[in-house]
Amino acid sequence: MPRSNDSATTSTSSESFSRFEYQVAGHDRLLQHPATDIIVVKPCNKIEQRFYEDSQQHPEFLPWIPECYGSLHIATEDERQALTEAQAVEEENLLYGFVKPCVMDLKLGTQLYGPDATPAKRAKMILKAQQTTSAQMGMKISGLQMYDAATNQQILHTKEYIKQITEANILDSFLSFFFPSSCYAETLIAGRERVNALQKGLPIPSAKVRWIIQSLIDDIEDILQTVADMPDLRIYGASVLIIYEGDRSAVLDAWEKMLEEDRQQAEREQRRDVNLEIADDKSESEDEEAPSAKLYSIRMIDFAHSEWTSGQFSEQDDGILLGLKNAANMLRSLLSIQKKENL
């Protein structure tokens, strides 16, 4: 689906607005779009609305943020009451296509306040950074939920659990997220809860989890390089949203589809090499319209305090780069532990 210009506005009825089920962090309440599962409605302030508009001028950054389809025109009092801000944007539902999405919200940066913050807000956010992993690591886990395919249970985490995450134990939280069938995801921890009755199943194959983690490392390194090359991009209080498929059958189906797509792509390239014309097949065009099965996804989100400046800075903020580097290093540690402990 092509990216649209955020200056466009659309209108919809709030009667069918419903709470977005899988939001794991953030103050703005995401709403499910009443007309389609592909779009969510995100209440936002004018800073974030402007950020999405300005981002359209930076195509190299667009792959790492949700597609934005325009601003929502709030026409009635009912619509106003359904939202938590005076503005809202319609953006890509990043969970669309997943069967059992496992979601981690990883807030970036050592500075969690923007240039619009009051002195009191700055002091509060500086203290919050010092009390969490943000100040030292440039990242902190803000939300976490996953699905254990071996027990067919969803695993939820409260704010109580999130507040217990320190620099000393954050690796365990990453391990529990990517290996929910292991001892790292045991429930004898305050703020962690398994819901649904236990039903025996099989975990996601280790090789598939390893591929997902390595792919995320590659993507985070790409995000790091992209952001480092954009000193005019000032990110405060934004997050990286990491999603992977927790349903074993969906993972295996998506894997087979990916291999088949790779095979077809190789065949097309081989035919082009010998200058053979490839006719567009009707069934192939229909497949392109169908939702693709997903193994994982990663995007930057939440830009309520972020902005594009013009020539004010020569280098990117060190705190953002630190957070991305530590996120990639954390995932590398997972690969080592997975191999060592046969997770």
Instruction: Round to whole Å and give the CA distance between 269 and 167.
Output: 47
Residue 7 has pLDDT above 90, yes or no: no
Report how far apart the first and last C-alpha atoms of the chain are (Å, whole number): 37
pLDDT at 38: 84
Instruction: Round to whole Å and give the CA distance between 66 and 294.
Output: 16
- Smallest Cα–Cα separation from 139: which of 321, 302, 304? 321
Vertex 319 angle, CA 315 and 322, to 5°: 100
pLDDT at 284: 45
Mean pLDDT of the chain: 84
Instruction: Round to whole Å and give the CA distance between 140 and 163.
Output: 10
Please answer whether residues 66 and 94 qualify as being in contact, where contact means their C-beta atoms are separated by less than 8 angstroms: yes
Confidence of residue 261 (pLDDT cuts 50, 70, 90): confident
| Cα–Cα distances in angstroms (integers) from residue 160 to residues 30, 156, 173, 328, in the given order | 22, 11, 14, 26
In sign, the C-alpha dihedral spanning 181, 183, 188, 189 is negative
pLDDT at 4: 40
Confidence of residue 101 (pLDDT cuts 50, 70, 90): very high
pLDDT at 89: 83
In sign, the C-alpha dihedral spanning 185, 187, 190, 194 is positive
Instruction: Round to whole Å and give the CA distance between 20 and 42.
Output: 10
Instruction: Round to whole Å and give the CA distance between 179 and 208.
Output: 12
Residue recorded with tokens 């919809």 = 12
User: Who has greater pLDDT, 260 or 326?
Assistant: 326
Residue 36 has pLDDT above 80, yes or no: no
Burial class (CB in 10 A: 0-12, 13-18, 19+), 290: exposed
Amino acid (1-letter code) at residue 82: A
Please answer whether residues 308 and 51 qualify as being in contact, where contact means their C-beta atoms are separated by less than 8 angstroms: yes
pTM of the model: 0.85
pLDDT at 289: 45
